[in-house]
Amino acid sequence: MRLFLAALLLLAAPAAPAAHAEPTGAERAMMQTVTQEHDRHIALLERMVNQNSGSLNLAGVRAVGDMARAELEPLGFEVRWVDMTETGRAGHLVATHAGRGRNILLIGHLDTVFEPESPFQRFERTGSRATGPGIGDDKGGVVVIIAALRAMQAAGTLKDASITVVLTGDEERIGAPAAIARRDLVEAGRVAAFALEFENLAVEDEQDFGTIARRSSNNWTLRTSGRTGHSSGVFNDTLGYGAIYEMARILDGFRRELPEPNLTYNVGVIAGGTPAAIDAEGFSVTASGKTNIVASTAIARGDLRTLTAEQDARIRAGMQTIVDAHLPRTEAELVFGEGGYPPMAPTEGNRALLARLNAVNRDLGLPEMAEYDPARRGAADSGFVAADVDTLGGLGVAGGNAHADGEWIDLDSLVRQSQRAAVLISRLSLGGD
């Protein structure tokens, strides 16, 4: 009986707290360097934000790349510019630091969604809050990378580290073909031991979260056609149902038959009539018709977001099955676009990376980070490497209003994110806990 009661007491006892270790001397030096250089990092961020680098502003993207080059070369990185004019974009900055440790891939991007014609163009600061185009997505993340690497150099942990930095110039609007546009990033992922992506930090209710998964982002275009004629004959054996009814059937089939966790398939634009058309970019539709004419054509365009490659393939097949069950006297064609973003699926390797980051958090006296719901995150370049290497995302700054006027960040988050990154990169590279 005593043994039984003892066992019950053990089961009822609270779990022991995770192990905590004091930061090493080098880690304390990294933390101190980040704090001391905070004003420097804010000034660098301001310069980057004030240089417009919309994805289609090729010269502007290259200019921000030059700013990053000026920071990385003095740290001992070999920096090269990968020209991407063949894809319609500026290019990518790739920087390598040779070392004996395991290779760590750091991912960010130079471009923003704000082109030169946008009225939102300047960095503005009020206390610890700053606004500006791309300030969080992803110029803040680029500055976190630079601040962390500077701290590592000051502490001596960069000397033997093997690090590759890839800053793409078209993350917001990827060039075509995607196989060329992401060639260098994919190659870097295949030789890395770990990949860390520096998009915005996920924060809710003042709690930081870790990103171990992101959903894909791909486009689809649906065209339906039918026999046209006087509306008095609609539904009969001669005219059938027309293109708009066929379109409505398919889209409602998607809505009713396909839902499952971590899946969305938005319809962004639609038109139907006699005739209907869509522009070459796939953004603008036109249509004309009369109430007494059965529609000959309908067009819809949308996106598909999935969490795993298996889910993506299965849902595409399900969409096609729905498309193929035509109403009488109608036809339909579903085409998936090229150049989308693959998913960053949740894996045990990614979870292990978050556990490593939480060990850093404990040792630095920072709160631990739970997994963030991938349905609440957008796609990112980390999806292109996640199939080949354990990946952790969302290591950039905290903020909000991404992709909108008034995009902002908490400047204080530059400190904790750079400290976290410096210690994590150092430990991963040299094999420490």
- Interval 322-348: pLDDT, tens: 999 999 999 999 999 987 999 999 999
Structural contact between residues 132 and 113, judged by C-beta atoms closer than 8 angstroms: no
Domains of the chain: residue spans and CATH: 20-214+342-430 (3.40.630.10), 218-336 (3.30.70.360)
DSSP state of 396: S
The residue type at 25: G
Q: Mean pLDDT score of the chain, rounded to an integer?
A: 94
Q: What is the predicted pLDDT for the residue at 21?
A: 78
Q: How far apart are CA 76 and CA 78, in angstroms?
A: 7
Q: What is the predicted pLDDT for the residue at 295?
A: 97
- Residue 432's pLDDT band (boundaries 50, 70, 90)? low
Where do the H-state alpha helices sit in 299-347? 309-324
The tokens of 311 are what? 């889910």
The tokens of 296 are what? 């000959």
Q: What is the predicted pLDDT for the residue at 13?
A: 44
Q: What is the predicted pLDDT for the residue at 338?
A: 83
Is the model's pLDDT at 3 over the cut of 70?
A: no
Three-class SS state of 322: helix
259: preceding bond cis by omega (within 30 degrees): no
CA angle 91, 113, 316 (to 5 degrees): 85
Q: How far apart are CA 272 and CA 295, in angstroms?
A: 7
Is the model's pLDDT at 11 over the cut of 50?
A: no
Q: What is the predicted pLDDT for the residue at 9?
A: 42
Residue-wise pLDDT tens digits, 378-391? 899 999 999 999 99
Q: What is the predicted pLDDT for the residue at 167?
A: 98
Is the model's pLDDT at 430 over the cut of 60?
A: yes
Q: How far is CA 321 from CA 173, 244, 254, 318, in A?
A: 30, 19, 10, 5
Residue-wise pLDDT tens digits, 142-152? 999 999 999 99
Q: What is the predicted pLDDT for the residue at 117?
A: 96
Residue-wise pLDDT tens digits, 191-248? 999 999 999 999 999 999 999 999 999 999 999 999 999 999 999 999 999 999 999 9
DSSP state of 164: E
Q: Characterize the bridge pairing of strands 207-210 and 370-371.
A: parallel
Is the model's pLDDT at 431 over the cut of 80?
A: no
Ramachandran angles phi, psi of 123, nearest 5°? -75, 130
Least confidently predicted of 5-14, 47-56, 170-179, 391-400:
5-14
Where do the H-state alpha helices sit in 18-57? 25-36, 38-50
Residue-wise pLDDT tens digits, 25-65? 999 999 999 999 999 999 999 999 999 999 999 999 999 99
Query: Which residues, 6+ apart, have CB-to-CB distance to 371 below 8 Å?
Result: 209, 210, 212, 213, 346, 351, 354
Residue-wise pLDDT tens digits, 401-425? 999 999 999 999 999 999 999 999 9
The pLDDT > 90 percentage for the chain reads 91
Nearest to 363 by CA among 412, 430, 433: 433
Is the model's pLDDT at 8 over the cut of 80?
A: no
Is the model's pLDDT at 122 over the cut of 80?
A: yes
